[in-house]
Chains A and B, each alone.
Chain A
Amino acid sequence: MNLTLKIWRQDGPQVAGRLAEYQVSDISDDMSFLEMLDVLNEELITKGEEPIAFDSDCREGICGMCGLMISGHAHGPEVTTTCQLHMRSFKDGDTITVEPWRAEAFPVVRDLVVDRSSLDRIIQAGGFISVNTGAATEANNLPVSKPKADRAFDAATCIGCGACVAACPNASGMLFMGAKITHLSELPQGQAQRDARVVSMVNQHDHEGFGGCTNIGECSAACPKEIPLDVISTLNADFRKAKQA
């Protein structure tokens, strides 16, 4: 198929960006969206134009490194990561707009690449269980019921891609943070730090410039790992309880 691409080009954080238009042809259904961009980049380099910078690594939908706004949708029209989006989701003749994640907490580095280190800093604020290496007891001493284990697991599958933030009109990071809070709160190991964790993570989140949650639900709808919206309820409940304690 032949496509028209409008792609965000920006040389650096301090420079203004613009949408540039490119044509690509002979794109096959089997290509992933990123492979289509690879093809375009090879053409650009051959012509002497600088290729478009975008992030990716695993290309298997698990590292969370890729992430583009594709015609207004985080990761594109399907519920998946950009690297697992295949061109069979598009039609011959389509015009596709490609932009970076937009949020104050994710400054643009170059073209489609943004800086998501704010998510690491939220984890640093308390997204862990404090156990030194070697201090662990025998693993089967801590049984976890299947329903709790399953819910913890579902929340733990967050890949830290930031699509939830990009999709949210408030650029809130509550789904990402709620996923971590829920993962750790469901487990017996996570109880000791439960209250302190939620308070310091929420403070960090606000400090980084993420917006507040107003229950719009775009985050969960865009999340490639289908993290349920109710992790935000768990987060809020834990936060209220911690504040009362």
Chain B
Amino acid sequence: MTDTNTSADLPGGDLFTLGAPIADTKAPDGPIENRWTKAEFNNRLVNPSNRRKLSVIIVGTGLAGASAAATMGESGYHVKSFCYQDSPRRAHSIAAQGGINAAKNYNNDGDSVHRLFYDTVKGGDYRSREDNVYRLSEVSTRIIDQCVAQGVPFARDYGGLLDNRSFGGVQVARTFYARGQTGQQLLIGAYQAMERQVANGTVEQFTRHEMLEVIVKDGKARGIIARDMVTGEIETHLADVVVLASGGYGNVFFLSTNAMGCNVTATWRAHRKGAYFGNPCYTQIHPTCIPVSGDHQSKLTLMSESLRNDGRIWVPKRAEDCGKDPREIPEADRDYYLERIYPAFGNLVPRDIASRQAKNVCDEGRGVGPLVGDFRRGVYLDFSAALARMSEEAVAEKYGNLFDMYQRITGESPYDVPMRIYPAVHYTMGGLWVDYDLETTIPGLFAVGEANFSDHGANRLGASSLMQCLGDGYFVLPNTIRNYLADGPFEPVSEDAPEVVEARQAVEDRISTLLSINGDRTVDSFHRELGNIMWEYCGMERTEEGLRKAVDLIRALKDEFWRNVKVLGSADTLNQSLEKAGRVADFLELGELMCIDALHRRESCGGHFRAESVTDDGEALRDDENFAYVAAWEFGGEGSAPVLHKEDLVYEFIELKQRSYK
């Protein structure tokens, strides 16, 4: 399918080299419905008395990490769990609002495992792997059962049964939700299951600990170096296997809907040690966020996509009306552009499409809200029709907490005035490359949840990350990792082993360098500047020229960072600037790779829109002939070009089609 043999034939080929193709060799063959069952059976078992002797490090306590820790602990392995917050319950998963998908077909509306599989592959713009997505759809139903058994209070109807709603990009109601706090309720469930194991002694919990390096010995991941963020102590933790569940890297854009501490350090450090990074440029832009209000802003706030079930999106037809009070603009002068362009899906088109069209109408000069510079960045999300149809109480029951949050941030009530929304960076589909077993290219190093790349392709449908994170943690990883652990007991690693000493020394050196530069720019100022470059050139719309410029700008910024950053204080106390500095240093390297990845992919797919690849009516144009592959990047060494390995995507069960929601 891909017939280019050298990087010189690819756009941006001067910035990377082309390596050998890569493939996932672990997925079983046969009918897709049977593959996971077959894998579960074929994966070797570890007998219960041996499990006690095997140790697992899990970095991250979000949905993926906490569910994995709980499940591995229940099985009897010795688990060490790490997070940078003061409690595992605060992982970024807590913020997810809208819901979690599962093919339960409780509504008898034609849903099935196969349809969820189909919707997810199509929604991901045919850039995800069939095997992984099918498995995800398959385990989805069991996730709901597990969570309900834990006491997760999902929404229920008056008959006491579970309620569902629909989400962007699909025509069935398969999303389970807990008001606008689904992530919180699911995470508390997983956290409680994990705390139960802490009490049982199978899980050891290390909070306020930041993982800063992976230890690789004899080609295998055998531990991590972590910093105790309170005492500053650099600690060595050894184990038989290491799992990264450290979340996504959307904060490379500085402004995003992610929590402030989200970072790429864990996965980037693993990348530098040999783990390939899959599709780094695949960023999801979420269409319904509160627009930016000024320069001081530290983050953007998401308004759940579920609002699009009842809210109607519009802008004035004429640019002259954009400054007016929306309530004074008559129906006839409003452009409900999503309903106009995509009558079948209307306001429920997938995120990438909703985002791009919002950008288009604002670029045309029809945006609303305050002028930021000479530009209005916002579209209306209007509930007046829903309020007329449903009563204020019914609307409040469904969306009350979101409306309150909006009012608190903007000072305006959505019950009276339409909300204003604009797209913002939300989620990263890229992440460490993993095979069917969720194992990276470093044996013994696994990646789960948002930290891996595998299930969402170029675009993630709503409510499917929570599903993936819990699917990975509760059902997939515990069943694939045992195949690896069955090789145990493993030879113990000594703390004095050269690989361990070296990893530790690298961490110590980096910290002392950061503290000694003593330049005159704050860490945040570098982060903001990087974010601006990324949003401008590697955001919703990308061009070859822009991306090349971004690579140069980032290189110069990185250079300045290491000469001129100012980090005060010492290494042996809680030092938040030091923490941020290490993370921004990694973001600078990742940012460059994201731009190179975006540059070489001269096609539009998902949220990745290349101005050079457009259909006649302005929609994103995919190029399956040349780009139906996963880009798996190998670290090329300090100062050397990264190496691109392609994994061809083969569609046996779903026909590749131009995606259309019209």
- A residues contacting B by CB (< 8 A) are 11-12, 28-32, 34-35, 38-39, 42, 45-46, 48-51, 53, 55-65, 80, 84, 86, 88, 109-110, 113, 115-117, 119-120, 123-125, 127-140, 142-146, 149, 152-153, 156-157, 159-160, 183-184, 187, 189-190
Contact = CB atoms under 8 A, between A and B. Distances in A.
Contact of A45 (B86, B145, B199, B577): B577
B480 interface: no
Interface stretch (B152-160, B425-433, B487-495, B647-655): B152-160
> Which of A116, A139, A146 has most chain B Cβ within 10 Å?
A139
9 contacts: A53-B576, A119-B87, A128-B150, A134-B474, A143-B160, A144-B160, A145-B160, A159-B184, A160-B87
B90 A64 contact: yes
B405 A124 contact: no
Contacts of B90: 57-58, 63-65, 160
> Which of A45, A50, A115, A143 has most chain B Cβ within 10 Å?
A45
Interface string B253-287: 00000011100000000000000000000000000
Contact of A136 (B149, B299, B522): B149
B153 A153 contact: yes
B260 A57 contact: yes
A140 B296 contact: no
A120 B195 contact: yes
Contacts of A28: 294, 296
Given A42-B524, A86-B408, A152-B153, A133 B475 contact: yes
Contact of B92 (A58, A116, A149, A190): A58
Contact of B296 (A35, A117, A130): A35
A127 B87 CA distance: 15
Interface stretch (B212-220, B318-326, B551-559, B565-573): B565-573
Contacts of B193: 128, 131, 133
B411 A50 contact: no
Interface in B468-511: 474-475, 478
B179 A140 contact: no
Contacts, number: 213
B153 A132 contact: no
Nearest to A159: B184
Contact of B86 (A34, A117, A129): A117
A149 B568 contact: no
* The 7 nearest A-B residue pairs measured at CB: A143-B160, A128-B192, A136-B149, A139-B148, A136-B145, A153-B153, A124-B199
Contact of B94 (A58, A110, A125, A134): A58
B151 A38 contact: no
> Which of A55, A61, A62, A137 has most chain B Cβ within 10 Å?
A62
A146 B148 contact: no
Interface of B: 67, 70-71, 74, 85-90, 92, 94-95, 104, 106, 142, 144-151, 153, 155-162, 178-179, 181, 183-185, 188, 191-193, 195-196, 198-199, 205, 207, 230, 259-261, 293-294, 296-299, 301-302, 405, 408-409, 411, 474-475, 478, 520, 522, 524-525, 566, 568-569, 573-574, 576-577
A224 B192 CA distance: 22
| Contact residues of A: prevailing secondary structure | loop
Contacts of B195: 120, 123-124, 127-128
Contact of A130 (B156, B160, B196, B520): B196
A86 B409 contact: yes
B151 A189 contact: yes
A113 B411 CA distance: 29
A133 B261 contact: no
Given A63-B90, A142-B148, A88 B181 contact: no
Contact of A143 (B85, B150, B159): B159
Contacts of A131: 146, 149-150, 193
Contact of B230 (A80, A88, A109): A109
A55 B142 contact: no
B337 to A, nearest CB: 28
A38 B475 contact: no
A70 to B, nearest CB: 16
B145 A133 contact: no
A61 to B, nearest CB: 7
A142 B153 CA distance: 12
A129 B94 CA distance: 19
